[in-house]
Amino acid sequence: MAHPSDQKAEDWNGTRVLGVTLSALAIIFDGFDNQALGLAVAGIAREWHMAASALAPASFMSLAGMTVGTAIAGVLGDRLGRRKMMIASVALFGLFTLATALATNIESLTLIRFLTGLGLGGAMPNATALAAEFSPVRARPFAVTATIVCVPLGGVLGGMVAADILPTHGWRAMFLVAGSIPCLLALALALWLPESPSFLASRAAKQMHGAAIAPRKRASIGQLFAPAFLRDTVGLWAAFFLCLIAVYTTFSWLPATLASAGFDQKTASLGLASFNFGGVAGALLAALVIGRLGSRVTMTGLAAIGAAIATLALLAGTGGLSRTGLLMVLTALGFTVNGVQTTMFALASHVYPSAMRATGVGAALGFGRVGAMASSLAGFYLLSSGSTVGFFTLLALAMAGSAVALAIIAQHIPSARAANRSARHAEAMASPRP
């Protein structure tokens, strides 16, 4: 059911398609640059003659930067405009991804990745808001999910590029490629990305009614804990937290974990690509199923299946998985884990109205980044075991917890039948009575 502050459902047009497409492109390269450090860990450690786990501070500060960037850019997107914050975020992470290629020690790498994280974190809530507000209301869950699915799509791209570049040209060349394209994209966004129609309408309304009432319309974190949103905010924050532990443990440590378990570098890179490839398929299918069955059944079911797959892989152990078997398991895990994570953005966009949408999505994602930061500390334990046991244990627990958190949320996206029934009821109530 659409919020009153949203536009009426309309058909797609050129402006809407352009807005969603450019938002999706930004998220593809957000996903690539987000996972670049995880792909490069083994190569950096070899060049600097240190253990891979010694790079945990750089991973931690990258995620800390994303946490800060998400929170700040979400609020500023609601106040200053999604377009401005999107352009600034993409330019920031592109420039500092380029700068990563110049790092000479762990201290400079850590600082650069923190600054990169500010841009990576800022792009996501504003891309989500733009995709939601450029889409016709009936197409919003699929459009938002199709935008956010570009994170694992960017991961597929990154894994394929890394598998080709890392063995022959090294990690610095990979960061030069990963940073150059977002810088060009930032210029394209400045030229062609339109502003959100909902944001423009909101700003026009404030100007029409005068500046005196504008402060009351500003979104704030405190509004997310008003009685109408409290239960949903708690459930969303917990689900984001737990699911992002699973996602970023994979992004940051899967290649190095596989290498420590005896797999070659190409297999380690393809393992992350497989996880992301499964994620693309899972997210798109989940979005379609949500349109028919609603988000409660779809998302909690996927989370529970993900926990079961990780548990089965844990029981099989490293020795029980061939190279092909490993890639199949990681594809299935990507299908479920990313299928849940990407559709969470559509769910958050549904829970919060337009006036506080970027703030609501940004705050949930920001809290989730705390879970992602915790995943950076897991590297010490995952790499020390010399097997995949710790990795699959963590994913099983995180996805089981995500299923519980999603079940808490009250305002799930309704099934097609429930939405039609609600629309007929609203139409009947609005009809004049004899």
> In angstroms, rounded to a whole number, what is the distance separating the alpha carbons of residues 85 and 362?
12
What distance lies between CA 420 and its chain's CA centroid? 30
pLDDT score at 222: 82
- Mean pLDDT confidence for 420-426: 56
Span 103-126, pLDDT tens digits:
999 999 999 999 999 999 899 888
- Supply the pLDDT for residue 318: 63
Helix (H) or strand (E) holding 67: helix 56-80
User: Which two structure tokens, joined as six digits, stand for 142?
Assistant: 């699929």
- Is 197 part of a structural domain of the chain? no
Question: 308: how many CB neighbours lie within 10 A of its CB?
Answer: 14
371 or 428: which leads in pLDDT: 371
What percent of the chain stands above pLDDT 70? 88
Residues 6+ apart with CB under 8 A from 308: none
Q: Examine residue 211 and state whether it is found in any structural domain, yes or no.
A: no
Kindly report which listed range (172-176, 250-254, 405-409) carries the lowest average pLDDT score.
Answer: 250-254
Q: How confident is the model at residue 320 (pLDDT cuts 50, 70, 90)?
A: low
429 lies in some domain: no
Residue 225: which domain range? 14-191+220-418
Confidence check: pLDDT of 421 > 70:
no
Tell me: pLDDT of 16 over 60. yes
Q: CA 275, CA 424: separation in Å to the nearest integer? A: 42
Within a domain: 9 = no
C-alpha to C-alpha distance for 40 and 63, rounded to whole angstroms:
16
CATH of the domain at 93: 1.20.1250.20
Eight-class DSSP state of 204: H
Q: What burial class does residue 116 get, using C-beta atoms within 10 Å of its C-beta: 0-12 exposed, 13-18 middle, 19+ buried?
A: buried
Q: Is 44 a member of any domain?
A: yes
pLDDT in tens, 339-395: 998 889 889 888 988 778 878 887 888 788 788 788 777 766 666 666 778 888 889
Q: Which of 361, 364, 369 is nearest to 64 (CA)?
A: 369
Q: Is the dihedral of CA 62, 63, 66, 68 positive or negative?
A: negative
Cα angle: 41, vertex 44, 48; to 5 degrees: 135
Q: Is 418 helix (H, G, I), strand (E, B) or coil?
A: helix
Classify residue 402: in a domain, yes or no.
Answer: yes
Alpha helices in 101-139, H assignment, sequence order: 106-134
Quote the CA–CA distance of 179 and 183 in Å, as a whole number. Answer: 7
Q: Residue ranges of the alpha helices (H) in 101-221?
A: 106-134, 140-148, 150-169, 171-192, 197-209, 214-217
- Share above pLDDT 90 across residues of the chain, in percent, rounded to a whole number: 35
Angle at 285 between CA 411 and CA 199, to 5 degrees: 50
Q: What is the DSSP letter of 261?
A: T
Q: Tell me: the pLDDT tens digits for 82-91? A: 899 999 999 9
Give the pLDDT mean for 416-429: 58
176: CB partners within 8 A, 6+ apart:
98, 101
Tell me the two tokens of residue 409: 């949320």
Summarised one tens digit per residue, pLDDT across range 219-278 is 677 888 888 899 999 999 999 999 999 988 888 788 878 877 778 777 877 888 899 889
> Which of 167-171, 215-219, 313-317 reaches the highest mean pLDDT?
167-171
Winning range, highest mean pLDDT, from 73-77, 164-168, 335-339, 427-431: 335-339
Residue 60 pLDDT: 85
pLDDT at 1: 43
Asked, for residue 4, whether it belongs to a domain, the answer is no
207 in a structural domain:
no
d(CA 278, CA 309): 13
CB neighbours of 407 closer than 8 A, spacing ≥ 6?
235, 296, 300
Give the model's confidence band at 216: pLDDT under 50 very low, under 70 low, under 90 confident, else very high.
very low
401: confidence class by pLDDT, cuts 50, 70, 90: very high
Section 152-156 average pLDDT: 81
348, two tokens: 């958050």
Q: How many CB atoms lie within 10 A of CB 132?
A: 30
- If one counts the domains in the chain, the total is 1
* Lowest mean pLDDT, pick from 18-32, 39-53, 211-225, 338-352: 211-225
pLDDT band at 4 (very low <50, low <70, confident <90, very high): very low
Residue 45's identity, in one-letter code, is A
Q: Give 390-394 contacts, CB < 8 A, sequence gap 24+.
A: 390/257, 391/249, 391/250, 391/253, 391/254, 391/257, 392/310, 392/311, 392/313, 392/314, 393/310, 393/314, 394/245, 394/246, 394/249
Of all helices (H) and strands (E), which one includes residue 41? Answer: helix 14-48
Which tokens is 353 given?
Answer: 């109205």
State the chain's mean pLDDT as an integer: 84
CB-CB contact of 252 with 37 (8 Å): yes
* Beta-carbon count within 10 A of 219 CB: 23
Residue 218 has pLDDT above 80, yes or no: no
CB 100 within 8 A of CB 116: yes
Give me the pLDDT at residue 379, please: 65
Where does the pLDDT of residue 182 fall: very low under 50, low under 70, confident under 90, or very high at 90 and above?
A: very high
